[in-house]
Structure 1
Amino acid sequence: MLQFFKYVLATIVGLFTFIFLFFLLIIGISSIFSKPDVVSVKENSVLKINMNQQILENSSEADPFMELLGEGSNQIGLVQLKEAIANAKIDPNIKGVYLDIAYPVAGMATLDEIRKTLIDFKESGKFIYAYGELMSEPALYISSIADEIFINEAGGFEFNGLSSETTFLQGFFEKIGVKPVIFRVGEYKSAIEPFIRKDMSAASKEQVSSYLNGISNYFYSQIAEARGMSMEKTNEILNMPKIHTPEEAVEFGLITKTGYFDQFEDLLRKKLDIKEDKSITYIELNKYLKAKKLVKEGDRNNRVAVIIGQGNIVSGKSDGSNIASDSWIEELRKAVKDDKVKAIVLRINSGGGSAMASDIMWREIELAKKKKPVIASMGDYAASGGYYMAMGCDTIVANPTTITGSIGIFGMLFNAQELMNSKLGINFDGVKTHDYADFPSLTRDMSSVEKGMIQSNVEAGYEKFTTKAAAGRNMDIVKLKSIAGGRVWTGEQGKENGLVDVLGTLEDAIKIAAKKGNIDDYRVAYYPKPKNQFELIMEKLENSSQVRFEEYFGSLAPEMKNIKQIMEMDKLQAKMPFDMRIQ
């Protein structure tokens, strides 16, 4: 009898699983073949933008699971965000923008692009109001151009400067009996420092201080200008220990008012000229993206293709979170073969990765630019392998706060002999046919000859990198090497030393591409195409392991993920000094 109930229960569970998966399949198929409804925008509406999310270069369609639950997404695409704001600028039914903003998750260049788009929106004469229960410095940077900046009077406020912190793992490896074996070229190529040191080297501190101060000067000068303050006064406030409350932020002119959300809405009603007992008509960003497009798209036969690359550079096929050479090259070749595409923009947001994958993509760019203009647009990062991709382009456009350069190569292996033998009691033995048949090995010390073999490969990779960079920049190799060595620069510094041609946004890069492609009336096409709802459903089912990974490691998940990436890396890496956290 117990066995009978066991089979019945299994059948019921299987049936429900089948129904659930069938339901998801129907949703996915209908999302592919159904024509999306155009959302109607009511008169006197306010575009509400929830900025408290991760901001990526390009986002997929709204997550169907989140929509079913009545919840929003936790990601925004920079492309979609700017398109919506540009459309709202000329939409007669949109009277202004409400920024729900406290802690946007984005790099400095991304924040700057959003801010510039909002400044352009204000040229229409429409208002921007910002409200947050608290406000971080990235939130203030965007909000500083708003007509009204409101913080909940019980909230918090951050205005104390920028810092960069690195996690060092030498002590951890010593405890578990693992020795990192390092190979590198360049005094500033400090990507390996977290594995072999317990603090920053003098060279690393020098370059981090240089680019951090460069970013800081730009970042706070923009806030100062928007709030009608001098840089001298701004720096004085930044060094004060007391700017932590909304009231103090109002006192020093950094925000306009404090209050609760109902008081903020009272202010909005006055601006919209509606009665106190009437509700404000908000339209959320995701819905507004489905509204009628008012911005002219241009001639469909003349296109500028923008190929977006974001994340770590690897070989093979992309999982959606990285720049994988095979997948990326496939998109580039599509653009080159498409007769409607007259020019190409490579949007790069990467701190690098595999040296081999970077070189393979560089070669494809060299072939592409023989047929069409190819312009590089740098996002938050275009360093090391990211710069490798950009250096061959006809023109390089960067944001003043872009992290770029880091022209260098390193290699890293691990010797886990002590861990295996002494800590775990595991030993290895074997035979080989030739002297180096077991090279490289993770379970024994490397000989000086073996180390020399890898170091020579690293040095050859560096020579290849610098030679190609010098050729791409039309720069003498001696001068190029003087600014290489793994040194990281801001976009502004890169413009001064010749690594960058133009300081500007993605839109500036698109305009340059169109001019070089001899087209005036054109439309912009983004690749790869964002995922549809069916693809999102399948991805959610496949990615449950990542959720378990983060739950298991908790706050250590980012560090364990970095170690996992290191273990999966190619032998040679063209990667930024380390994963920087500017806060």
Structure 2
Amino acid sequence: MKQFFKYVLATVVGIILTSFLSLIFFIFIISAFVSSINKNESVMVEDKSILYVDLNQPIIERSLDNHFDLDYLMGVEADKIGFFDLINGIKKAETDDRIKGIYINVSAPQSGMATMKEVRQALIEFKKSGKPIIAYSEVYSQGAYYLASVANKVYLNPQGDLEFKGLNSEVMFFKGALDKIGVEMQILRVGDFKSAVEPYTNTKMSEPNRLQVSQMVNGIYDEIIKEIGSSRNISTDSLKSIANQYKIQQPEDALKYKMVDALKYKDEVLEELNTITNTKKNKNFPIVSINDYIKNKVETDISNKNKVAVIYANGEITGGEGDDATIGSERISRAIRKARIDSTIKAIVLRVNSPGGSALASEVIWREVSLTKKVKPVIASFGDVAASGGYYIAAGADSILVQPNTITGSIGVFGIIPNAQKLLNDKIGITFDNEKTGQFADIMSLTRPMTPGERFILQNGINRVYNVFINRVSTGRTRSKEYIETIASGRVWTGKDAVRIGLADREAGFKEAIESAARKANIKNYRLVEYPEKLDPIKALLNNSKNNIQTYFLQRELGNEYSIYKKIKEASQRSGIQTHMMFVPVIY
């Protein structure tokens, strides 16, 4: 009895201590949130200022209203910035007489290639104002150099490093690990190129997948080389030779091959910025960060009745509400419906950045897009990835605009049913027995292999969804079903190829998509409104505090390996038939 009370007392003390620590943590988070609100106030911009553009921070689809994520509040991670706010801030600085130039800091950008393309184009437009752009870094990754190469002057630390070796796409495979633990992934799919299932069934790329990955990587690489060559006045052949032979091994090599303009320490770069701002050497010159600069919002004419709605569809596609990082079919459909009914909204831009997800959820969103298209123009703008279900939801739009290095297509369908019989029976010693009322009462059981009859039924379901998907694309793109089938089969395309084969209309950025929507609606003066409404941050934390805190600490503990954990968790939680490019190739 004494031992019993000892354990009870220990349990009670543990519960009290855990509750107390949770309360302290929660109070800290709320306090940090309240203090962060003040940081969103407008910022004074002095005359002769340099605009500091940090391109190492995550560039997300939409800026956060408040810095309300755990990384920021815990002081671990810097700001995040919405890409449209970023490019609008750069655009605004072109005509702002207080801004004398831009200073770029970039070593390892945290954004996709299409996003980097949009930012790079904004910087090119800024240069036309005659104001200089200075880029400096101790280390340039290839993505960082792609961005920095647009600058008037590109400087590298004399002991720094510039990486320039070509692109590599790496896909992770789990079959070996699954074999070891005794789990068989039973696959149903349509399309030889639907490679989302390969990590579970193969130990390396299939030949069809290798073909599409090769074409994708080389297409993106050619675009990068062309743009760097244009900015640096170096031929594409020379750049490819530099990369293929790994000629940039020392900082002096970067200077020798004209990849940088000079090797300088930061104090020397600051002296040059002193000159640009006409301030004395070793004196602080006025500087404003792009994150602060965009807080000074340009006043919009709220009396203008004409509006263009931007609807952000960002993340994996799921049923239900979703959140700011996932596309919930209910939330996005409601936003589209609201924009359709509002007579002051004359056109819609559907901004898609998604690898796909639930086929049913994709169909629900497609339906709202197709209904809206009958009432007002709908222009789809694709970001880094708009593949599989991400393409599905936009297939009914009036037109589709892409960046040349957008990853899109992947028109295919799959289903995965794990068979854990060997794991449960042989590895753990757990067995199952059952009684059922019908032959297929236990269809899709995870404790045994599928029967031929079950596979036939489920494959028919996959085929039906694929046929619907093909019909949606055929109707939306006004192409024959037979033609769409020749470019579908789950095959992934770059944006440039998508335009060539008719899956997209033209290469253009987000701003061009907005302008295109306004033209199609025959309006010249309008203001932008954004949907869906951002989630209330405190409510989101209270509803998902456990998940948010768990995710935060897992990311801190696992580091880069968190992506592996996330992929496995997402795969285990999926249900229903999927239109998904599950494993987006990592290109570095």
- TM interval, shorter chain, is over 0.9
Amino acid at match of 1:370: K
**Counterpart among 547, 552, 563 of residue 547 in structure 1:** 552
Q: Residue 384 of structure 1 corresponds to which residue in structure 2? A: 388
Q: 1:371 aligns with which of 375, 386, 389?
A: 375
Question: Following superposition of structure 1 onto structure 2, how do residues 159-558 of structure 1 map, counting pairs within 5 Å?
Answer: 159-291=164-296, 293=298, 300-530=304-534, 534=538, 538=542, 543-551=548-556, 553=558, 555-558=560-563
The 8 Å contact of residues 40 and 66 in structure 2, kept in 1 or not, is answered as no
Deviation at 1:419, TM superposition (A): 0.2
Question: Deviations 1:478-515 (Å, cap 9, x if unpaired)?
Answer: 11111111111111111111111111001111111001
Gaps of 5+ in 1: none
Counterpart in the other structure of 2:3? none
What is the CA–CA distance in structure 2 between the aligned matches of 1:532 and 1:326, rounded to whole Å? 17
Amino acid corresponding to residue 346 of structure 2 in structure 1: K
Q: How far off its partner does 1:71 sit?
A: 7.6
Q: Residue 146 of structure 1 corresponds to which residue in structure 2? A: 151
Q: Find the aligned partners of 2:75 and 2:383 in 1 and give their Cα distance.
A: 32
CA gap of 1:554–1:400, structure 2 versus 1, over 3 A, is closer
User: What displacement does 1:408 show?
Assistant: 0.7
Change (3 A) 1:252 1:532: farther
Change over 3 Å in CA distance of 1:357–1:532 after alignment to 2: closer
Distance 1:280 1:254 in 2: 28
Q: Secondary structure at the match of 1:156?
A: strand
CA drift at 1:212:
1.3
Match of 2:271, SS state, is helix
* Cα distance, 1:236 vs structure 2: 1.4
Structure 1 position 107 matched with structure 2 position 112: yes
RMSD of Structure 2 on Structure 1 (CA): 2.8
Q: How far apart are residue 62 of structure 1 and its match?
A: 4.3
What letter matches 2:276 in structure 1? Answer: K
Indicate how the Cα distance of structure 1 residues 137 and 522 shifts in structure 2: closer, same or farther if over 3 A, else same: same
| Greater mean deviation of Cα atoms: 230-239 or 196-205 | 230-239
CA distance in 2, matches of 1:443, 1:266: 69
In 1, Cα distance between the equivalents of 2:166 and 2:429?
49
**Matched-pair contact (CA < 8 Å) for 1:343–1:514:** yes
Report how far residue 139 of structure 1 moved.
0.9
Distance (whole Å) between structure 2 residues aligned to residue 217 and residue 388 of structure 1? 28
Relative to structure 1, the CA distance from residue 290 to residue 550 in structure 2 (aligned partners, 3 Å threshold; closer, same or farther) is closer
1:61 paired with 2:65, answer: yes
Go from structure 1 to structure 2 and tell me whether the alpha carbon gap of 1:45 and 1:553 turns closer, same or farther (over 3 Å shift).
closer
Q: In the superposition, relative to structure 1, how do residues 27 and 269 fare at CA in structure 2: closer, same or farther (>3 Å)? A: closer
- SS, match of residue 323 in structure 2: coil
- 1:411 Cα offset (Å): 0.8
Deviations 1:166-190 (A, max 9, x none): 0111110100000000011111111
Cα deviation, residue 269, structure 1: 1.2
- Distance (Å, rounded) in 1 between the aligned partners of 2:15 and 2:497: 65
Classify 1:531/1:263 alpha carbon distance in 2 versus 1 (closer, same or farther; 3 Å).
farther
**Cα deviation digits, residues 144-163 of structure 1 (max 9, x gap):** 11011112222211111111
Q: Does 1:38 align with 2:39?
A: no
Counterparts in 2 of 1:429 and 1:503: CA distance versus 1, 3 Å: same
Provide the C-alpha distance between the structure 1 equivalents of 2:336 and 2:356, rounded to a whole number of angstroms: 18
Q: Is the 8 A contact 2:389 2:580 kept in 1?
A: yes
**Residue 133 of structure 1 aligns to a residue in which SS?**
strand
What SS is found at the alignment partner of 2:150?
Answer: coil
Shift in Å, 1:75: 2.2
**Count of paired positions:** 580
Which stretch shows the higher mean deviation, 277-286 or 308-317? 277-286
Give the stretch that moved more between structures: 20-29 or 387-396: 20-29
- The 3-state SS of whatever aligns with 1:96 is strand
CA pair 11-377 structure 1, distance change in 2 beyond 3 A: closer
| TM-score of the two chains, using structure 2 as the length reference | 0.92
Partner-residue secondary structure (3-state), 2:436? coil
Q: TM-score, normalised by structure 1?
A: 0.93
Q: Deviations over 1:513-550 (max 9, x none)?
A: 00111110111222234456646765667501112333
Q: Aligned to 1:155, what secondary structure does the other structure show?
A: strand
- Is residue 377–residue 505 contact of structure 1 (8 Å, CA) maintained in 2? yes
Would the aligned equivalents of 1:45 and 1:282 in 2 still touch at CA under 8 Å? yes
CA contact (8 A) 1:63 1:73 kept: no
1:94 equivalenced with 2:104 (yes/no): no
| Bigger mean CA deviation after superposition, 325-334 or 393-402 | 325-334
Provide the rounded CA distance (Å) in 1 between the counterparts of 2:65 and 2:218: 38
Tell me by how many angstroms 1:293 deviates.
2.5
- C-alpha contact (below 8 Å) 2:382/2:403 kept by paired residues: yes
Q: Is the 8 A contact 1:303 1:341 kept in 2?
A: yes
How far is 1:40 from its partner?
1.4
Partner of 1:571: 576
Q: In structure 1, what is the Cα distance between the partners aligned to 2:262 and 2:432?
A: 69
1:119 maps to which of 124, 136, 143: 124
Structure-1 separation of matches of 2:308 and 2:556? 42
